[in-house]
Amino acid sequence: DGGITQSPKYLFRKEGQNVTLSCEQNLNHDAMYWYRQDPGQGLRLIYYSQIVNDFQKGDIAEGYSVSREKKESFPLTVTSAQKNPTAFYLCASSPPEGEQYFGPGTRLTVT
């Protein structure tokens, strides 16, 4: 089955710790994205990558980092510099036509 997987589904961390969220896709899409969703809000773009070994900052990149070493994988690290990291994190991928397909998401809670 083709799709996007994210792990873990729920993640709990203490303040001051870095945490890495996994995103893998087997849809053969070149483009991948990370979004953040807060309660009652739309999706905000954190980072995106159009091709392996290249990525660009989105609207809210501060406190986050990514890598794109393989076409299938686009992990997101939430660093201790991110002031309000508790949120629902969504990974997506898209073909050249532009429609984005989402993974199931990771709910991060930082206390």
Question: Given the rule CB under 8 A, which residues bind other proteins?
Answer: 31, 35, 40-45, 48, 50, 58, 90, 94, 98-105
The minimum distance between CB 74 and other proteins, in angstroms, equals: 13
Q: Are 20 and 11 in contact (CB under 8 A)?
A: no
Q: Which phi and psi angles does 21 have, rounded to 5°? A: -100, 135
Q: How far is the CB of 82 from other proteins (least distance, A)?
A: 20
Q: d(Cα 23, Cα 111) in Å, to the nearest integer?
A: 23
Cβ pair 19, 10 in contact under 8 A? no
Q: Residue 80 or 107: which CB sits closer to other proteins?
A: 107
Nearer to other proteins, 18 or 53 (CB): 53
Both tokens of residue 15?
Answer: 């303040």
Least distance between other proteins and beta carbon 14 (Å)? 24
